[in-house]
Every structure is written in C-alpha cells, then in structure tokens.
Chains A and B, each alone.
Chain A
Amino acid sequence: MPVTQNMNQLKPTVLAKNDADEVPAISVQGLVKTFGHSSNQITALDDVSIDIQQNEFFTLLGPSGCGKTTLLRLIAGFELPDSGTVLLHGEGIEHLPPHMRPVNTVFQSYALFPHISVADNIGFGLRMLGWDKAKITNAVEKMLDMVRLSDLANRQPDQLSGGQQQRVALARALAPAPRVLLLDEPLAALDLKLRKEMQIELKRLQDQTGITFVFVTHDQEEALTMSDRIAVMSAGRVLQVGQPKEIYNAPEHRFVADFIGDINVLPGQVKHRQNGKLVVMIAGGSEVHLPDDGIQSDSLFVAVRPEKATLAKSGTGALSGVVNNIVFFGSGTNIHVSLSDGVDFVVQTQGSETGLSLGDAVSVNFADSAAKVLRN
C-alpha cells in the first residue's frame, strides 16, 4: 500500500518534472458531474479530461462555480462522477471511498479537529492507517519541524493563528505521504502578507516532499507565481492547460485572456487572409497582421496586454483616443484611453510621471507580435 510508505522512503527533491515517459499522477478522462434533479440541474463538470504529471505543482484556476472544487472533490472521493474515470498512477480509483484513496486534502477552512492537540491532528491519518505509536510520534515530529511548529505541538487548534492553523492542516495532509496532495483554496482566508509567505512555503514543501500538488484557486496571480502548469476552467469546462507563461502570453480563449491579468480586448474584422497571415481591421480603423491559426470566423477579438502597448503623440500611432483616467498603483501607472469608437484601452507605464493629463489626445501603439487572436 503506497500510503503506508514512510517519509524517509520518499524521493527527495529534484525530480524531472513533466517527464513524458512517466504515468500521470492523476489522469481524469471524460468526467461529467451534475447536481440537482431534472428541472434545475446544474452541470458542474462537462466532459473534463486532464493529465497531471508526477511531482507537478498543478493549478486549477477559475472563478467560483467553474467546477474546479468539484473536480478536486471527485479526485478526493467526496463526490462520485456521473461518468468518466479518475486514474491515480494509472489505476482507476473513481469507485473507491475517500479513506481508501492514497490522496489527502487541505481544506479551505482547514477543518482541524478542535478536540485534539496539534500533534494529534497531524498524527490522525497515521493512527487511522494503524502505524505503531513510536513511528507516529517520530513522523509527527518531523512534520512539525517541516512546517516550523515544533513549539506548538501540544496546543489546541483554536489557540493558533490562521497561518499556523494552515500549516497544521498542511502537515496533517502531508504526514501520510500521499501520492497526491489536493489543496482547496488553502490560502483564501489569509491576509495578503501571510498569503505571500505561504505561497513560498507551499512551493518549498512541494520541492522537499516531491509530492504532486493539485492546487485550486480563483486568484490568477497566485496561480501564475506557484504553478508548474495551470488549467483554466470556466462553466465546468477546461479552456486551456499550459505553463503560466503560455497561459499569460498566449491565451487561446477570450475568457482566459480576461481572467489572467489585465488585457485589452478589441473587436476586429478579418480583411483578408494571405501567406498564413490574417490581416485584421480593428476598431479605430488600423490594420494588424496576425498569424493565422486556422480561425474560421471573420469577426474575432484581438487582445493586447496593457504593458505591451505604448502611448505616443496624437496622430503618430495606429489607434487614436483621449486620456480619460490615470491610475497610479505603486510600481507603475495605468492610463485609460477612450478610443475613437468608445472602447476603453489601458496602457501600463513604469513609474508615476506620465506627463499626461486628462483629456489629452494620444495615439496607442503596439507591435503585431503583442496582439493575440482570441476565440470567443
């Protein structure tokens, strides 16, 4: 039984990530899950298939209600799929109850047992697995050390701060050395500073234990900073799976572009196609040349990140407009430009001095390579 594996036997750090030869740690195929009855049925997961590699930090990202938590609960075994399979290291586990699956969950609410001490919380899974006492004590000490809570072993959970409770929840879920650790928005309840610390802590723990992490969040920044790969979900579907850079720089879908960071989305019309290039007429009358990836429709959307665009004197650029808002946010300034057809376009600049004031007429420029075609 893999779950009874001792912490010592765990592969330490530095493991080849995304090794194509390896069996995926988790492979879900054609998962469908609906809630409710015929009249008011909600489809939480609509034919979802994902492969999560071993030792990967994999993030399910999406707004609330997109099905990411349902997917996590299906992997943990709290819900059973209507159809589809869940493979853990190649073995079908979709029929097993949660206590038979060698995966552990870190809950959003931590769900620490209030009636037992921190050490007993961490040792709970090991006791249930029937480890002998000395081994449990040993493992618990190691886990306490790993999450830096050795001083608080005998406290009750309600005597800990939010961040400490979070670390106990992590230690409790990691103690039985699960094949896969599932994390359901574990940082959502923490304040910003603590959240940043825990993000680093989580990455460290993942490196140290070599356990596959499946992380659920609605925070795109968190997803970008922590993940090896991200799956962006919306309305029960997986829209795009890729490394953070791919997701950010090359969103394939309008929803993904909108959800990950700030982006300007402009409606456009295909003027003509030639030599694998699309010549697209965008609002304001300028042309952009984009790679043709086989999109059929003639009306589409073109996306440009705010930091990829620049401003110039009126009449010198592709798009013209009027400055209608200047928002300083610390490391830079966002300049909102109202384009001639009324669309709002945001340009991000470094620093706080822009030399612009409201009502100035300006031109917006961006390279063809900065523009992306989005599927609607």
Chain B
Amino acid sequence: MASTDQDISLSASETLAHARRVDAQRKTRARWILLSPALILIGLFGLMPLSITLVYSFLKPGSFGGVEWVFSLDAYIQFIAQRDIFDDTLSVNWSYLSIFSRSIGLSLGATIGALILGFPTAYFIASKPADQRNFWLFLITLPFWTNLLIRTYAMLLIIRDQGVINTGLMSLGITEAPIEILYTDTAVFIGLIYSYLPFMVLPLYASLEKLDLRLIEAAYDLYASRFRVLTNVILPLAKPGIVAGCILVFIPGLGAYITPELLGGGKKLMIGNLIAIQFGSSRNWPFGSAAALILMAVVMVALLLYVRHSAKEGHSHG
C-alpha cells in the first residue's frame, strides 16, 4: 500500500511540474506577442533610421545629394579639421567645433534658466490644495495646444525691433532706439527657455508633490532657516525631478532646430541647423549623418557618466 501511495504522489508531483512548465511557456509566449507591436515600431522607425545614419556617415557624398557607396572617414575628419586645397594637409577647423560648443553653451544656459524659473513654479503648484493642482498643471500644458513653429513666430513678433517689447520700452521713454534682441544668441536663449520650460516644470512638480511636508516642518523645527530648509531638505529630495527636468530640457535644446532657425535668423547656427543644412543646400548627407551621430554620442556619454555617478552615490547609501 505504502509504495502505491508513493507512486501516486510522485506522478502527481510530476504532473504539477509539467503543468508549471506549460504555464511558464505560455506566459513567455504571451509576453512576446504583447511586446511585438512596440518592438516592430522601435525596430522599423528607431533602429533602422539610426543604422542608415550610421552607414551613411562612413560614405562619400553624392553630387546631387544622397551618397556614393565608397567607404570614407571624410565626414568625421571634416568635423574637426579642414584639408588644404593645394597641398592636402590637415589643420584644425574651428567653425564646426564652435557651433558645437555654442549649442552646448546655449542649451546648458537654457537648462539653468528653465530650472530657475521652473522650480518656484513647480513648488507653487505642488503646494496648492490637491483639487486645484490639476488646473495649474493644465495651464502649464496650455502652450502645447499650439504648434511650436507658430509659437516661435509669435515670439519673433514680440522681441523684434518693432515688437511689443521694444515699442513699449520706447513709448515709455526708457530707451531711444530699439534693443536688438532678435537674431542674437539672447533671442535663441529666450526662445529655448520658453519652448522647453514645461518639460522642466512637470518632472519637478512630480518630485515636489511627493515631498513630505512634515520633513520641511521637522527641519524648520530643528533650527533650519527657510533658506537652509531649501538647501538641506527640499533640493536634495527634489533631485530626481531636477535631474529629469534638466535632461528633458538640455537634450532637445541641444538639437533644437526651429528656435535658432527663426530667432537666430539662421546666422547663429546650432547643431540642429548645421545638420539640416547638410541634408539640404550643402548636399552633404555623410557629414550631416556624422554630425548627428557625434551629437548623439556626446549626449550618451554625458548620460552614462551621470548614471554611473548616481549609481555609485546610491551604492554608498546602501
């Protein structure tokens, strides 16, 4: 009797194991089926264009746009150096590097500007009663109802020499001649802040909204002045939001096209414009591809450095 019991229990456990295996297989299959639309989209419209860009950057430009299928590193060399037309020697070409560094500078400036403007805004919204916050968030997202191009044109009308600001200042007698803002770096800077401010406010709000107000009271109770409550408690706790906001402003700002094109007048180039020109009037697709990839590489390295740094910091906490 005992042995039969054992047999039965053994086969029962085998059946159970088999059932579990089948169930696990079914789950894996279901997971892939559910993921496939997203994977197909990412593959088709994300990875493939990127691969084409990568391949093109190592080819020679065709005379009327497009590429010639001949391997060449010229596109990358051209970015940092220029070839003398007489003796073929290479010397450093600062013009593209300066566009690159200007882009980084402007975008960084806009990020800091957006942070300074966005933090009080986000704090204001987060400190409103819960039922009013959605209204204020709605106001933040209101600009997205209109196309960025239209909004940038509107901006152009405001800051140009005959615009609202300058006519206003002159009619008040504050200035005699219009202050030149349009087609300067200042215009691009203002435009970038304006365009990307909501991307700063929203993640900041998300982290400030979670902030436990009792922590602020606790700090205040422990002899911290308002300023030190901000620097010792609020800012460190809002750090994830600050980082997310900065990334969301800095990266699109770096590749901005419309803002420098319209407000910079096409004279003050940023990388986005440089790339656009290569695919348009300059008909140098490989160079455009190379510039796009260099931009991407810089952003990726910066992000990786940050992730490594914060992982280390998180580890030391652990």
Contacts and interface: CB of A to CB of B under 8 A. Distances in A.
Interface of A: 3, 76-78, 97-99, 103-105, 107, 109, 111-116, 124-125, 128-129, 156, 172-173, 176
B217 A176 contact: no
B311 to A, nearest CB: 16
B222 A172 contact: yes
Given A114-B237, A128-B228, A156-B317, A99 B215 contact: no
A176 B68 CA distance: 75
A128 B231 CA distance: 12
Given A125-B223, A128-B223, A105 B218 contact: yes
B81 interface: no
B13 to A, nearest CB: 39
Contacts of B318: 156
Given A109-B214, A156-B317, A115 B236 contact: yes
A105 B237 contact: no
A114 B236 CA distance: 10
Interface in B99-118: none
B84 interface: no
Given A78-B217, A107-B218, A113 B233 contact: yes
B87 interface: no
Interface string B205-220: 0000000101101111
B309 to A, nearest CB: 16
B237 A176 contact: no
Nearest to A100: B223
21 contacts: A77-B221, A78-B217, A78-B220, A98-B217, A98-B220, A98-B221, A99-B221, A99-B223, A104-B222, A111-B217, A111-B218, A115-B236, A124-B219, A124-B222, A124-B224, A125-B222, A128-B232, A129-B223, A172-B222, A173-B221, A176-B222
Interface in B272-318: 317-318
Nearest to A114: B237
Contacts of A105: 217-218, 221
Nearest to A109: B214
Nearest to B213: A111
A107 B317 CA distance: 24
Given A99-B221, A113-B219, 4 more contacts: A76-B221, A111-B215, A128-B223, A176-B222
Interface residues of B, number: 19
A234 B317 CA distance: 45
Interface of B: 212, 214-215, 217-225, 228, 232-233, 236-237, 317-318
Contacts of B223: 3, 99, 125, 128-129, 176
Nearest to B215: A111
A198 to B, nearest CB: 19
Contacts of B218: 105, 107, 111-113
A124 B225 CA distance: 12
Contacts of A111: 212, 214-215, 217-218
A98 B214 CA distance: 13
A55 to B, nearest CB: 21
Given A113-B233, A115-B236, A115-B237, A128 B224 contact: yes
Contacts of A104: 221-222
A98 B228 CA distance: 13
Nearest to A78: B217
A97 B219 CA distance: 12
Nearest to B229: A99
A187 to B, nearest CB: 17
Contacts of A176: 222-223
B219 A107 contact: no
Nearest to B239: A115
Nearest to A105: B221
A107 B214 contact: yes
A99 B225 CA distance: 6
Q: When A and B form their complex, which 8 residue pairs have the shortest distance between CB atoms, in order from nearest?
A: A125-B222, A111-B218, A128-B223, A111-B214, A128-B224, A98-B220, A115-B236, A99-B223
Contacts of A116: 236
Nearest to B317: A156
A109 B214 CA distance: 8
B236 A99 contact: no
A99 B237 contact: no
Contacts of B228: 128
Contacts of A3: 223
A88 to B, nearest CB: 14
